[in-house]
A and B are shown apart, each in its own frame.
Chain A
């Protein structure tokens, strides 16, 4: 199983809503990532979890709150988002502490903030 599963695939939320994005992998990977991708732009790293601990936070606004409940799951909690936060949110996982292993990506969640 080389799959990273993201739910939901599409999400429309108001600026006062609270929602969560979910990501799951069963490859035994201990590094998991959230990326944000705006239209016609490359993915931008938001967070990295290593062995279920937050390893990297790329100065992301606090309205985005990541959580790693266990080694297979990664959540991104959303609250009080702005319309400019509308984007494709990609989750990825990889083996830990190795430059020579690829990251496996999910299909992403297309988020629209209205």
Chain B
């Protein structure tokens, strides 16, 4: 069963506008972490922001913020004042808690964001 859902295959935004990338997730584990990664055409995965299931406040990192709605199981990424360099593939990912050992990091299908000048 798919645990991370990103419903927007592609988005086009004008430079300097804000953009919201959607992510919903499914888990029965009370302890989990949600991550957003950016993947430029070069291929590397760049960590952007993290939200823990027990965090009371929405995470923010510079121009990135995470709109965490736990009851709706959504963790949308908001990019303010978009820049041309923000054009890339964006992945939402989840790690579930386990009693021992390394946990899996599972990715959504991704959203390709294009910033137009």
Contacts and interface: CB of A to CB of B under 8 A. Distances in A.
Contacts of B107: 42-43
Contacts, number: 71
Interface residues of B, number: 30
Contact of B108 (A31, A42, A55, A110): A42
Contact of B96 (A99, A102, A108, A110): A99
Given A42-B91, A102-B50, A96 B45 contact: no
Interface of A: 31, 33, 41-43, 45, 48-50, 55-56, 88, 90, 92, 94, 96-97, 99-108, 110
Given A90-B43, A105-B47, 10 more contacts: A41-B109, A41-B110, A97-B100, A99-B53, A99-B95, A99-B96, A102-B35, A104-B47, A105-B45, A106-B44
Given A43-B107, A45-B106, A103-B105, A90 B91 contact: no
A102 B104 CA distance: 12
Contact of A108 (B32, B43, B52): B43
